[in-house]
Structure 1
Amino acid sequence: MATPQFVCANWSADNTGCKKFGKYTCKGCHLVVYCGSDCQKSHWALHKIDCKSPLGNETWRPSWALENRKPAFLETGNRNIIPSFADEKRLWGNIPAIDVLKLESNEGVDYGKQIDLLFAVSGDLRNVVKTIAQVPASYNKLIVVTINDDDLDVMARNVIILLIALVSDNIDEAVDCIIHVWYSALIRKSDLDMIQQKILPLVQGICEKVKDKDSHSLLGKTWRFGKRSLRLVLQKSQWARLLTYMKTPEGLTAERASRIRTAVTLAESKKDSLDRHLVFQSPARRIAKHRFRQDGLLLPFGAPRHEFQEPNPTLFNVTDSWPMNECADPLHGWSLKDVEDSSSGPATADIYGKLFNHIRTTLRAFLIRLSDSQMAFRLFCMGFGEIYTILECNTFNRIEVSNVADNLLAGIHHTASAMGPLLQCPRANPHATLITLFRNAITETMTMQDRMMDMYTRRPETKLIREYISHIGAKSFHHPLLDHRPLMWTYAQANVAAYDPIFDRFMENFRFSQVDKLFGLVMKEKHTVIEKWPFRLKLRYDQPGALEELISLNNEIVFAKERYVEWRRRYM
């Protein structure tokens, strides 16, 4: 794919502005590009609002420090410094996407059989997109992708995005349409036309045919697009609701939709939570994050925005609410390193420009792979405790279940019981793998003694943490609760700790050793899909680059406590 070009920031809604590509950047913020000095001077009256924002100052401090008070998250009864997102609607991923197949290093590029993938608790499509995008070009057999999520808000968006991918004739137009349907609060008329002219009629036809069926009856429809197909199985009542995700609620304008959204993303009552996420960011990144909270458009910082006048019906399913929490961010669903390695042209600090380009590149690879492959998608909207009852045993090369094996959710025994029989046995495929993620295990298992030892034991890593605090520039305040440093220390300490002994204790507490005897699943000692601790520091505290690695890790919402476990079926 050609090196991306970014439009000069001196554009105008009436099309009288510059339409050239940018060759230079603003040296004050490195967030926008210009074709030359004339456009930069012409645009300064607008750009200086962002470029000179207090968020861009090295001396910026969160509101609780400026107002000389405790942050809300340290008030009595709310002592969790590291935030929890357990109870909120997640329409975007909150942990980086993974390729669940890794075909080249597992079955091999010459694998001559059909591939079956199961995303049993899928969330959004990031893992599906990344996996298919990275299937080697030499593989030419059928790929069957089974996707399930029990939240219709999630599944409806997945259906719409996949149908856009399947019906579109122009890959580049489809890529940009999908990006905005997936991540932007407002979309272009062309995006809404795609949904309402190409996708809506497909669903309307089914709803008309099944209108006399019982509301709880399970009904399936298969659409075929050459060598590709999509089968959707929903209850009759869900088919009817699916239509609502393709129509803008009556009376909902772009202005009203923006007010509804910013009432959440810029809520005064949530300012401490919002500021907490900015404490660790560079000045330019704070400005960029604030811009996204303001307009909700996934675009390069200086890109034209005047076409985005339609509320995204897949996000504004009802007229009076924004479905996600105030800190929901597309950045959380993708590897920050991959994003930072992507181009944003001369505007080297434009993190959302980099994200836009990274997702665009990944989606383009996904659509190209889709266009010349035998591909069958099967989508369900069922509970985790139901989906396994309608799927065939000994079928899947990979099964990915997000963090449903966490003890607070289904737990490992129920997960193994439900998913184990669906996994291919070693005779059929020795590389078949069930992928489980444990996000809460360490926090649940850590005792007060563990925390005290972690806090007060003088470890070599302490020097690295001190360097990190100094580098970020956290200054002391007279009142200890107003000091940045304990907050930063908590995050940094959580990311340098080694949690293997605590996870061993967790496995013992919840009888992981019985999973083999009861369900015939064996933990893989050597992982072949995803590292056991993918967000743990790779460098030792005293190695060159360790400080930069810790800074990058603290910029992400994930922590070193995230633990993957891979499983295979017992040989038999």
Structure 2
Amino acid sequence: MVTPELICANWNFGSTGCERIGRHGCKDCQLVTYCSRECQKANWPQHKPSCKSPLRKEAWQPAWTLEGRTPAFMGGGLGQVFGDKKYLWGNVPAFDVLQLDKNEGADYSGPLRILFAASGDIRHVVKTISELPGSYSGTIEVTLNDRDGDIVARNIILHLVALVVDDIAIAVDCIIHLWYSALIRESDWNILQQQIRPLIEEICTKTAAKPPGTILGKTWSFDQRSLRVVLAKSAWDELLRYLDAPPGMDAQRAQQVRTIITLAESRKDYRDRYMCCIPPAHRVAFHKFREDGLVLPFGYPRGEFQVPNPTLYYGRCSWPMPDNADPRHGWPAEEVEDTSTGRATADIYGKLFFYLRGKISAFLMRLHSIDASFKLLQVDAASISDYVDPASFSRIDVSNISDYGWLGIHRTLLYMVPLLKPRLENPHATLITLFMNAVEETLTDKDRLRDLTPHSASSLKLVRYLPPDRRPTSRYDPVIVKVNMARDLVMDYDAIFDRYSSKLEFQKAAALLGAAMKHTHSIIDKWPYKLKLRPGKSGAQEEFDRAPGGGLSSKERYVEWRLTT
């Protein structure tokens, strides 16, 4: 992988600073790079608090240990979800929903239609199109639907930026910051106002007299690419307001209302618990993102970022997401950590920034070489058949609406199976369902107690990853907390999920609709977030150490479905 050109970290607010390439890393923290020893010395007063932060030390202790008290997460219900409940960023990693080489074949050039019935953000679209085989020259049609207006509005805006801005480098960084950063640059703001707003204003002006509930569609064409948006009239008017400056909010106020959530004093023990489980080298970068909310390399200038991101602060004076929302959770942790940041090897958000640059660049370049069309909707997934053609999709991804608390598997199959292409047209057509809560809802007290015994398979495996190096000093010792947090990662849940699927008669429900569960998956592993390597094997410890940072429990189970006729 090509090493990105990291700028020298010797910069100050209000001045240009050094603009040369940073080729030498800070040997103590590995968070920043410098062009020379002179620049490193000049920047030391600014860098010292981060470089010498107690968070970097192996001996760092969480506040509850230092203060000799019971941690807040052991109390009765101190906010399982703290902050607003919007999920504007992905909470499971993006994956390629086509996997052409494993299915239709790398040389396939026929048409492809993909439906994301409960899309969330656009990460799966970016990953799928960016990873199309170079030989693919067919047409691809992607339909994204979500019932959350905030998600749909942001997806529309990001697609428009991707299709309207000619300079790929400019478009890429604009997309990254509109997608993930709490503050954006004036240049990003200008793109919204000068290139995106006129497109939406035209629709709102032409339909001003229409009743609010009128369904209106608009198609924009850009050479061989197109974007169609179908929304109620009221939603079109709301879409325009996502481009407005948040009323009465400047950069300082935006950061204040954000850190009320992300750095809440009442959540200090939750943050410390998380930091117990990640490498010391990553804690400083994690804390900095909680402070400034900017997806940038650690040593990059922040002075340009002075505009509150209107797509995040739209219509509110508060931060819209839970305190633990993190852009890293939407992308494969191993791929992000394998991204080069030169000598700044501990800069995990810098790695994310350059990973996103690479993925989004590949996505945009691929759009320039194929016929691609996008359709965005805002309807309940149960009624999506009113807006799309039946028996027409090569892939359907529904996220976790198949979980019991949402549509459930029976209704999901009922609504989605008829939308798959018949086997005679495409035997590889696949419906992808995710069960995030099934295992947790099925586990019994007996199951949990069995795995807690010292000689259980999970306990014996866990001790190989976390060999005891000292006797715990209390029941809330960080060593015990880390063991308890890591236990999920080493447990086997196959029998638990089989019990769940048997109880809900997955096979019978599918058969009634002319479908079946795929015994061998061809898109995504059944348990993609379980540890793959045995303890003691090369890379196993690194895999284990990386897992807690991804925000996953390893209980997430995918099921793929195919038509039988």
The TM-score with structure 2 as length reference comes to 0.97
1:28 aligns to 2:50 (yes or no):
no
Give the stretch that moved more between structures: 551-560 or 141-150: 551-560
Deviation digits for residues 273-329 of structure 1 (CA, Å, limit 9, x no counterpart): 222221111222110000001111100000111111111000010241110111111
Q: Is the 8 A contact 1:474 1:484 kept in 2?
A: no
Alpha-carbon offset, residue 538 of structure 1: 1.1
| CA distance in structure 2 between the partners assigned to 1:241 and 1:252 by the alignment | 19
Shift of 1:85: 8.8
Partners of 1:470 and 1:308 lie apart in 2 by: 45
CA contact (8 A) 2:329 2:550 kept: yes
Instruction: Check the 8 A contact 1:217/1:236 in 2, yes or no.
Output: yes
> For residues 240-297 of structure 1, what are the alpha-carbon distances to aligned partners after superposition, in whole Å with 9 as ceiling and x for unaligned?
1101111112321111111111111111111122222211112221100000011111
Say if 2:530 is the partner of 1:536: yes
Letter paired with 2:510: D
Relative to structure 1, the CA distance from residue 104 to residue 380 in structure 2 (aligned partners, 3 Å threshold; closer, same or farther) is same
The amino acid across from 2:58 in the alignment is E
1:48 aligns with 2:45: no
The Cα of 1:569 is off from its aligned counterpart by 0.8
- Kindly provide the amino acid, as one letter, of the partner of residue 221 in structure 1: K
Q: Does structure 1 retain, via aligned residues, the 8 Å contact 2:84–2:319? A: no
Amino acid at match of 2:541: L
Aligned letter for 1:153?
D
Give the aligned partner of residue 116 of structure 2.
119
State the alpha-carbon separation in 2 of the partners of residues 23 and 376 from structure 1: 42
| 1:498 Cα offset (Å) | 1.0
Distance 1:314 1:86, change over 3 A: closer
- Alignment correspondent of 1:567: 561
Q: Which amino acid aligns with 2:56?
A: G
Provide the residue aligned with 1:447 in structure 2: 444
C-alpha spacing 1:502/1:461, structure 2 compared with 1 (3 Å): closer
Is residue 2:89 matched to residue 1:92?
yes
- Answer yes or no: is the 8 Å Cα contact 1:516–1:570 preserved in 2: no
Check the 8 A contact 1:88/1:325 in 2, yes or no.
Answer: yes
2:343 maps to a residue whose letter is P
Q: Does 1:193 align with 2:187?
A: no
Cα distance, 1:521 vs structure 2: 1.6
Q: What whole-Å deviation, never above 9, does each CA across 1:81-109 have from its counterpart, x for those lacking one?
A: xx679982111111110100011221112
* Distance 1:157-1:474 versus aligned 2 partners, 3 A rule: farther
- Matched positions, count: 565
Work out which of the residue numbers 166, 169, 174 in structure 2 matches 1:172.
Answer: 169
Deviation readout 1:113-135 (Å, 9 max, x if unpaired): 21000000000010010001011
SS in 2 for 1:429: coil
Q: Does structure 2 conserve the Cα–Cα contact (< 8 Å) formed by 1:91 and 1:123?
A: yes
Task: Specify the alignment match of 1:386 in structure 2.
Answer: 383
Residue in 2 aligned with 1:293?
290
SS at match of 2:121: coil
Q: Determine if the alignment matches structure 1 residue 523 to structure 2 residue 517.
A: yes
Within 2, Cα distance between the matches of 1:244 and 1:512? 44
Compared CA separation, residues 524 and 470, structure 1 to 2 (3 A): same
Aligned partners of 1:498, 1:470: CA distance in 2, in Å? 20
Q: Which residue in 2 is equivalent to 1:494?
A: 488
Paired residue secondary structure (1:515): helix
Q: Is the 8 A contact 2:84 2:320 kept in 1?
A: no
1:266 aligns with 2:268: no
Across the aligned residues of Structure 1 and Structure 2, the Cα RMSD in angstroms comes to 1.8
Aligned to 1:545: 539
User: Secondary structure, in 3 states, of the residue corresponding to 2:101?
Assistant: helix
Query: How far 1:14 moved relative to its partner?
Result: 3.5
Q: Tell me how far 1:56 sits from its aligned partner.
A: 1.3
Paired residue secondary structure (2:124)? helix
**Residue 369 of structure 1 aligns with which residue?**
366
Q: Is the 8 A contact 1:110 1:139 kept in 2?
A: yes
For the residue of structure 2 that corresponds to 1:224, the secondary structure is strand
User: Secondary structure, in 3 states, of the residue corresponding to 1:314?
Assistant: helix
For structure 1, the 5+ residue unaligned runs are none
Contact 1:231 1:379 in 2 (8 A): yes
Once residues 512 and 457 of structure 1 are traced to their aligned partners in structure 2, the CA distance between those partners, rounded to angstroms, is 35
Helix, strand or coil for the counterpart of 1:491? helix
Tell me, yes or no, if the aligned pair for 1:124 and 1:158 is still in contact at 8 Å. Answer: yes
Judge conservation of contact 1:274–1:326 (CA < 8 Å) in 2. no
Segment of structure 1 superposing worse, 385-394 or 185-194: 385-394
CA–CA distance in structure 2, aligned partners of residues 64 and 344 of structure 1: 34
TM-score, length-normalised on structure 1?
Answer: 0.96
Change (3 A) 1:474 1:105: farther
Match of 1:253?
250
User: What does 1:125-144 correspond to in 2, within 5 Å?
Assistant: 125-144=122-141
2:385 counterpart letter in structure 1 = Y
- Which of the numbers 449, 473, 476 marks the counterpart of 2:472? 476
SS at match of 1:246: coil
Residues 422 and 16 of structure 1: is their aligned pair in 2 closer, same or farther, counting only changes over 3 Å?
closer
- Give the equivalent residue in structure 1 for 2:273: 276
Q: Which residue of 2 aligns with 1:422?
A: 419
**Match for residue 514 of structure 1?**
508
Write out per-residue CA displacement over residues 432-456 of structure 1, whole angstroms, 9 at most, x where no aligned residue: 0000011111100011110111111
Shift of 1:389: 2.5
1:332 and 1:557 in contact (8 A); partners too: yes
Partner of 1:152: 149
* Residue of structure 2 in register with 1:184 after alignment: 181
C-alpha contact (below 8 Å) 2:278/2:546 kept by paired residues: no
Give the direction of change, closer, same or farther, for the CA distance of 1:73–1:167 in structure 2 (3 Å limit): same
| Contact 1:249/1:313 (<8 A) preserved | yes
TM-superposed deviation, 1:513: 2.1
- From 422, 442, 456, the counterpart of 2:453: 456
User: Do structure 1's residue 554 and structure 2's residue 548 form an aligned pair?
Assistant: yes
Give the SS at the match of 2:370.
coil
Which of 316, 330, 334 in structure 1 is aligned with 2:331?
A: 334
Deviations 1:198-243 (A, max 9, x none): 0011001100111111111111100111111000001111001101
Structure 1 letter corresponding to 2:283: R
Shift of 1:38: 0.4
Kept in 2, the 8 Å contact 1:460–1:541? The answer is: no
Q: In 2, Cα distance between the equivalents of 1:112 and 1:290?
A: 46
Name the aligned partner's letter for residue 521 of structure 1.
Answer: A
Structure 2 unaligned residues grouped into runs of 5+: none
CA contact (8 A) 1:12 1:18 kept: no
Structure 1 residue 403 displacement after superposition = 0.6
Shift of the 112–41 alpha-carbon distance from structure 1 to 2, 3 Å rule, reads closer
Moved more, 551-560 or 88-97: 551-560
Q: By how many angstroms is 1:465 displaced?
A: 1.8
How many Å separate the matches in 2 of 1:348 and 1:536?
Answer: 25
2:160 alignment counterpart: 163
How many angstroms apart in 2 are the aligned matches of 1:281 and 1:519? 45
Given the superposition, is the C-alpha separation of residues 5 and 370 from structure 1 closer, same or farther in structure 2, using an over 3 Å criterion? same
8 Å contact from structure 1 (residues 8, 35) kept in 2: yes
Residues 46-71 of structure 1, C-alpha deviations (whole Å, 9 max, x = no match) = 10011111211211122222222112
- One-letter identity of the residue aligned with 1:538: K
Higher mean C-alpha displacement, 344-353 vs 271-280: 271-280
Rounded Cα–Cα distance in structure 1 between residues aligned with 2:342 and 2:376: 38
Q: Residues 413 and 84 of structure 1: is their aligned pair in 2 closer, same or farther, counting only changes over 3 Å?
A: farther
Q: 1:356 aligns with which of 353, 365, 368?
A: 353
